[in-house]
């Protein structure tokens, strides 16, 4: 009744921002990401009939109550229902990168939890089933089940085995159809991702809350959602062709459109600080000067910069020269979620 798993975070090149259904955590549109090796979450789950409630330890701190414990417990309920067990669990999870600052720790967190918890409960799910399950914990977690370049379905028009788009009818059916799939392995393209940390604090507006507010109040939400499918197609082609300039164009456009929809909410959601904006300008200026580089930004002020492997040092120097950058993390294409040695 005990298992441990490791998963990497991922960064969306075409963003997920909005939900078709909150209860099933169905995304309003698809997304496309790169799984990031070099950063990881490790999670150990042990079901124990002697426990009176689920226990969570996050980065060596006990989490006795609150939203984080609640979210983990609700997720474990899905696993318990599926395995036909009632035992509560002890969950120990550790990130080797800062939590809650726009680095998508929920992606690696729920991917590792999905794998460790199902194994500990005696289930043996396929990667696709794990992706569907991980999505219920956090939409972006569905993508971290897989390595390399990954595409997430919206569940409305999933791809069938013969790659035709099939329309789903009910929410239940859509829920089973909203999963991620790998479109190119980590070895396909040695891109590097440098993460410029511009603030160490937890974000003010979590992504779930930010999405719901955008959806309810932003006049730009519909246009944003309508832009996603064509962007996924462009990004997927750019990845297949290893066309850096094409990927740069679509990734920056998707990022800025997502943020524009959030800025248009009421009250407007602005995740950026002054250093975030400095970095946007610095990246664009460097690219105009011939450096292959582009930026993307999630629900926080950190800036993720992508470049080919041989431009890594120049990109690092660019970020390091920008005032307000506190730390630079480095990542490369990584593998999907996998079981690991028990670390407790």
The minimum distance between CB 25 and ligand DP6, in angstroms, equals: 5
The minimum distance between CB 318 and ligand DP6, in angstroms, equals: 23
The minimum distance between CB 317 and ligand DP6, in angstroms, equals: 27
Rounded Cα–Cα distance for residues 136 and 125 (Å): 15
Nearer to ligand DP6, 286 or 299 (CB): 299
Nearer to ligand DP6, 152 or 315 (CB): 152
Interacting residue ranges for ligand DP6, rule: CB under 6 A: 12, 15-17, 25, 31, 104, 106, 138-140, 207-208, 298-299
The minimum distance between CB 49 and ligand DP6, in angstroms, equals: 30
Rounded Cα–Cα distance for residues 156 and 135 (Å): 15
Nearer to ligand DP6, 78 or 87 (CB): 78
Rounded Cα–Cα distance for residues 172 and 298 (Å): 29
Nearer to ligand DP6, 262 or 315 (CB): 262
Report the Cα–Cα distance between both ends of the chain, in Å, rounded.
14
The minimum distance between CB 229 and ligand DP6, in angstroms, equals: 14
Q: Virtual CA dihedral for 243, 244, 245, 251, nearest 10 degrees?
A: 110
Q: What share of the chain is helix, strand, coil (3-state, %, to 5)?
A: 40, 25, 35
Instruction: Give me the phi and psi of 318, to 5 degrees please.
Output: -60, -45
Q: Does residue 267 have a cis peptide bond before it, meaning omega lies within 30 degrees of 0?
A: yes
Nearer to ligand DP6, 140 or 275 (CB): 140
């Amino acid at each position: 009744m005990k298992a441990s798993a490791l998963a990497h975070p991922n960064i969306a090149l075409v963003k997920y921002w909005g939900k078709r259904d909150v209860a099933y955590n169905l995304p309003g549109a698809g997304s496309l990401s790169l799984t990031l090796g070099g950063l990881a979450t490790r999670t150990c789950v042990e079901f124990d009939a002697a426990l009176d409630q689920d226990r969570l330890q996050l980065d060596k701190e006990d989490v006795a109550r609150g939203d984080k414990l609640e979210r983990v417990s609700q997720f474990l309920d899905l696993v318990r229902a599926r395995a036909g067990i009632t035992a509560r669990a002890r969950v120990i999870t550790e990130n080797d990168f800062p939590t809650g600052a726009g680095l998508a720790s929920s992606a690696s967190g729920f991917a590792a939890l999905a794998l460790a918890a199902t194994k500990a409960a005696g289930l043996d799910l396929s990667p696709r089933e794990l992706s569907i399950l991980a999505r219920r914990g956090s939409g972006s977690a569905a993508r971290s089940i897989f390595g390399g370049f990954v595409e997430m379905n919206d569940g409305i028009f999933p791809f069938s085995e013969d790659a035709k788009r099939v329309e789903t009818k009910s929410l239940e059916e859509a829920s089973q159809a909203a999963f991620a799939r790998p479109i190119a392995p980590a070895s396909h393209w040695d891109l590097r991702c440098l993460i410029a940390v511009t603030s160490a604090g937890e974000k003010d507006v979590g992504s779930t809350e930010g999405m719901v507010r955008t959806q309810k109040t932003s006049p730009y939400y519909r246009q944003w959602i309508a832009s996603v499918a064509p962007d996924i197609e462009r990004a997927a082609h750019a990845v297949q062709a290893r066309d850096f300039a094409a990927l740069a164009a679509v990734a920056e456009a998707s990022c800025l459109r997502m943020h524009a929809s959030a800025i248009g909410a009421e009250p407007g959601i602005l995740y950026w600080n002054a250093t975030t904006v400095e970095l946007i300008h610095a990246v664009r200026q460097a690219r105009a000067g011939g450096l292959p580089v582009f930026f993307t930004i999630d629900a926080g002020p950190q800036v993720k910069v992508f470049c080919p492997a041989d431009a890594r040092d120049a990109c690092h120097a660019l970020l390091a020269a920008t005032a307000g950058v506190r730390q630079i993390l480095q990542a490369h294409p990584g593998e999907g979620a996998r079981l690991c040695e028990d670390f407790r």
